[in-house]
Amino acid sequence: MKKIFLFILLIFLIGCEQTAEPSPLPEDNFLIIAHRGASAYAPEHTIAAYDLAYEMQADYLELDLHQTKDGQLVVMHDRFIVNQQKEIPVADLTFEELKALHDESPGPRKPVSQGLQGEKEGLVSLQEVLERFGSDANYYIELKSPDDYPGMEEDLIAQLKSFDSLDGKQNTPWIILQSFDRKSLQRIHKLEPNIPLIQLYSFDKPPSFNESDFRKLTKYASGIGINQDAVSKELIDQFHQHGLDVHPYTVNEKEEIRQMIEWGADGIFTDRPDIGVEVKQEER
C-alpha cells in the first residue's frame, strides 16, 4: 500500500512540474524592444548600440547569445566568425580567442541606416552588458543555436541569478528569453518557470496554427516572436484568444509600427527604438 501511495505521489509531482504555468508578460503595454541595441545607429551588439537604446528609453535591450569553448556567454548574432575566409564556430574558441579574431575582422561594421555612428567596438560578453546596465534595464535574450552548447540553459540561468535578475521589479520582468529552438525553451521552463519565454518563428508565407499547436505552446511559452511579413490582425487575434502575446520583428518604419499597434500586437523588435518610442507616445 505504501509503495502504491509513493508511486501516485511521484506521478502527481511530475504532473505538477510539467504543467507549471508560463510566466506572464507585461500587461497593457506596447513593448519597444531594441533589436541588437539601437542597431540602426551604431554597430549591432556593441556597448554603443545598447547605450543608445537605453538613452532612447527602449523597454528592452535585445541580445543574441552564443557560448565559447571556455563557457563564456557572448553577445553576437552568428554562430561562427570568419577568419581568412574560413568560418570558425564560436564553440571551438575561447572568449579571448574569439575576441581577438573579432578585433581583426574587417570593420567598422556599418549600421543599417545613416545616423549616429561610432567606431567599431570590441566583442562583449553577457556579463559585461549586465554589469553596465544592471537592474536599470530590461533584457530580452535569444539563445542562438543552443544545441551547439550543451548546458547553455543552466549556465545562462545561473548567470542571471548571480545578478538577481530573476526577481523582477514592479509588474515588468527584467528578463525575457526567446529562441527558435522549442526544446531549449522547454528545458528553461522546467528549470525556471518564472521566466517569460518567447517562441520564435520565421515564415515565408502566412502561417496556420491549429489547436494542437496552441496546446503545446501554452505549456511553456508566454508569446511568440514572428517576422513582420507573416503577421496579420487575424493571426494576432488568434494568439490572443489563447493567452499568447505577439512581438513582430523587425519593424522600423512609423507607418508599420502604427499598423502593429492598430492590429493589437504587444510590442515590436526594432532597429530604431527612438522611432518606436515616438510612435508609441503619439498613439497613447
Which of the residues 35, 45, 66, 189 is marked catalytic? Answer: 35
Element (H, E) at 159: helix 152-162
User: Which residues make beta-bridge pairs with 223?
Assistant: 198, 245
The C-alpha cell at 185 is: 525553451
Handedness of CA 60, 222, 185, 189 (dihedral sign): positive
Report CA-CA distances (Å) from 143 to 140, 156, 276: 10, 9, 24
Length of the chain: 284
Which of the residues 45, 66, 77, 247 is marked catalytic? Answer: 77
Report CA-CA distances (Å) from 162 to 146, 188, 242, 283: 21, 17, 34, 38
Q: What DSSP letter does each residue of 229-245 carry, written as one string?
A: GG--HHHHHHHHHTT-E
Element (H, E) at 98: helix 95-104
35 is catalytic: yes
User: Which residues make beta-bridge pairs with 143?
Assistant: 65
What are the backbone angles phi and psi of residue 120, rounded to the nearest 5°? Answer: -60, 135
CB 58 within 8 A of CB 32: yes
77 is catalytic: yes
Cα 272 to Cα 259: distance, rounded to the nearest angstrom: 16
The C-alpha cell at 75 is: 553577445
CB 189 within 8 A of CB 22: yes
Cα 210 to Cα 254: distance, rounded to the nearest angstrom: 32
Q: Report the catalytic residues.
A: 35, 77
